[in-house]
Chains A and B, each alone.
Chain A
Amino acid sequence: MLKIRELKARVVDGPEILKGINLDVNAGEIHAVMGPNGSGKSTLSRVLAGHPDYEVTGGAVTFEINREAQDLLAMEAHERARAGMFLAFQYPVEVPGVSNTVFLRAAFNAICRAQGVPPVDAFDFRDLLTEKLALIGMDDSYLERPVNLDFSGGEKKRNEILQMAILAPRLAILDETDSGLDVDSLRIVSEGVKQLSTPHNATLMITHYQRMLQYITPDFVHVLMDGQIVKSGDHTLAEAVETRGYDWVKDAA
């Protein structure tokens, strides 16, 4: 579904942060990318989502759309979203004046239109919302509040997963979704992500610790250091990193 080849990128006019990433993600798989601070984890997620502050200086990324590999890097951020990519933000952005419902329906319908599906009306959309709210333990009061405004850290992260549940992406990238969560929120968010995982979609979890991995067992774990994936393995790699630290990976690599 996603093929990353020798991807190099930097903040516009800044030093290179990604120094040749290679990664394949297929439908039905859950991948975890781990790495210490400054290794390029968040850069990877933002570059994949098309953040304008970053520029790609080398390599290629293809994303499969209707069974055909398309050049992801040639697409704008909203086109990537419409093609089925979703980024759960590490720091979700506040959008004053726009209620969650209005925002979610606008996004949902934009994606429907792009995929040739008729948009849904406010009533049908409400039913969909109610169903998905339960998944992440949010109540109706979230819906009329402005997007992320005055939300606690945990509420913001749950809100990201609510959006993911509504937009039903084929590839979800979770950027440090487990950071800043209390134990209860972590469990609810993790359960939500797990339930949303199907044989037809894929999840790329980007994380510093393996907190979320206690709830979700990834099929593949990759360790990112200094802009490159230095080691890949199964879920036991995450445990090894947890007990032995990143230095161990560095020495082993």
Chain B
Amino acid sequence: MNDALANRDKEYKYGFVTDVETEKFPKGVNEDVVRAISKRKEEPDFLLEFRLKAFRWWQEQTPPHWAHVEFPPIDFQDIHYYAAPKSMADAPQSLDDVDPELLRTFDRLGVPLHERERLAGVAVDAVFDSVSVGTTHQDILAEMGVIFCSFSEAARKHPELIKRYLGTVVPPRDNFYAALNSAVFSDGSFVFIPKGVHCPIDLSTYFRINASNTGQFERTLIVAEEGASVSYVEGCTAPMRDENQLHAAIVELIALDDASIKYSTVQNWYGGDENGRGGIYNFVVKRGRCEGARSKISWTQVEAGSAITWKYPSVILKGDDSVGEFYSVALTNNKMQADTGTKMVHIGKNTSSTIISKGISCDGSRNSYRGLVKVTPGADNARNYSQCDSMLVGSDCEANTFPYLEINNQSAVIEHEATTSRISDDQLFYLQSRGLDSEEAISLLVNGFCKDVFKTLPLEFSVEAVKLLEMKLEDSVG
């Protein structure tokens, strides 16, 4: 038994549970729960209204099933919608007042928050279950007019900005899970980069699910004003549990004229064991709008965890000459299922988008790319380049590509390339005969396969991503 646990630890080193007293709302969701969440966060009235409207609409909907994934129906009344460490109840004013056990948790996750140890080039907002534990570097950023804080704090301190932008990219009625999130979202990050400011350091949110039977419904909103730029990184982990936990987040990005937002994700939620038991359901809506002319939004994602991943970080290219990018590596092993890709919606003139997707399927997993390129009638001279490559490791896995094109303007130039490859025994033997063992050989092949995506990540995260994939692959190469 101990051996088995030790083995599991090796496979997923972030699978530990932090022992803190947690305040949880009773299981289930209704209007009272929605009101209670809003009250606990001392939100302005408009936010409560926003939540209630979303909730009422959600109640009338049925969950969608079009993704190429299989899972038993989710009992939405069997989930805790709010969980927070008790020590966070009286809202610590600074990181010095935060429960040391929570700080130690983030240390163990490699995201130290203390001033003396924290990462120099990155400001971090650390979210633990439903609350933000703290945000580093806030003082330095404030001097430049950059707002980087938890969503709850933003709702209290900058209600006018929240009111102006919240739900403008992903409306509450966008889809079932967007409505649910809009009703019960707990915490997340808010970023505001004022006109002309280039944010000097990477901003990062680290999401940690700790409590059991709890859903995490975070909300991230990033606004870059005219000529502003920011690079934002998201990381996430959860303990190993035999039950499935729901993570239904919304991320909204808005880039005004000449602004640019780069959003990178390294997702390593617990993916379940080799029999497909446990793991996170990662059902996330991520969308950015290139509102202004010459604006740019770039998504990079490294998806290496979650029992089920169901998400399509998208860009609405509204401004003329705007640019959308999507770079993705999705690795599935054990019984994991991923249906992920992007939507690029060309509306403005001379807009261009690039999609590079690399799917790696191992063991008995299922990995699908699903992507839409849409060119509206007014989007003259739209350009898109899509490249979707799949790699199979082993013989029981599955890889699919579902590309959708809706082109309504003759001037569009659309290119699509797709390949599927399998790591061949000949390749492995060739590399082994040069001194690389099978793990090193596969890691070399996989890193080569993914390098177009890795090179778009901020350096330290690119190193992290490579290590993460190597760790995952170790178990799949027997």
Contacts and interface: CB of A to CB of B under 8 A. Distances in A.
A51 B429 contact: yes
Interface stretch (B112-120, B156-164, B338-346, B436-444): B436-444
B65 interface: no
A97 B445 contact: yes
Given A78-B437, A97-B449, A106 B432 contact: no
Contacts of B447: 97-98
Given A53-B425, A95-B448, A167 B430 contact: no
B72 interface: no
B56 interface: no
B380 to A, nearest CB: 36
B445 A95 contact: yes
B431 A95 contact: yes
Interface in B418-460: 421, 424-427, 429-438, 440-441, 444-445, 447-449, 451
A49 B429 CA distance: 9
Question: Which among B435, B436, B441 has the greatest number of chain A C-beta atoms within 10 A?
Answer: B435
B435 A103 contact: no
A93 B432 CA distance: 12
A92 B430 CA distance: 8
Interface residues of B, number: 23
Interface string A161-175: 001000100000000
A93 B448 contact: no
A189 interface: no
A77 B433 contact: yes
Given A53-B425, A93-B426, A93-B427, A98 B433 contact: no
26 contacts: A52-B425, A76-B432, A76-B437, A77-B429, A78-B432, A78-B438, A81-B432, A82-B435, A86-B433, A87-B433, A93-B429, A95-B430, A95-B431, A95-B445, A97-B448, A97-B449, A97-B451, A98-B444, A98-B447, A102-B444, A102-B448, A106-B436, A108-B435, A110-B437, A163-B434, A167-B434
Contacts, number: 82
Contacts of B441: 78
A96 B448 contact: yes
B444 A106 contact: yes
A87 B431 CA distance: 11
Interface in A2-52: 49-52
A89 interface: yes
A52 B448 contact: no
Contacts of A78: 432-438, 440-441
A114 B435 contact: yes
Contacts of A82: 435
A90 to B, nearest CB: 12
Nearest to B437: A78
Contacts of A106: 436, 440, 444
A107 interface: yes
Question: Which among A81, A89, A92 has the greatest number of chain B C-beta atoms within 10 A?
Answer: A81
B444 A49 contact: no
A96 B387 CA distance: 15
Contact of A95 (B427, B433, B437, B440): B427
Contacts of A98: 444-445, 447-448
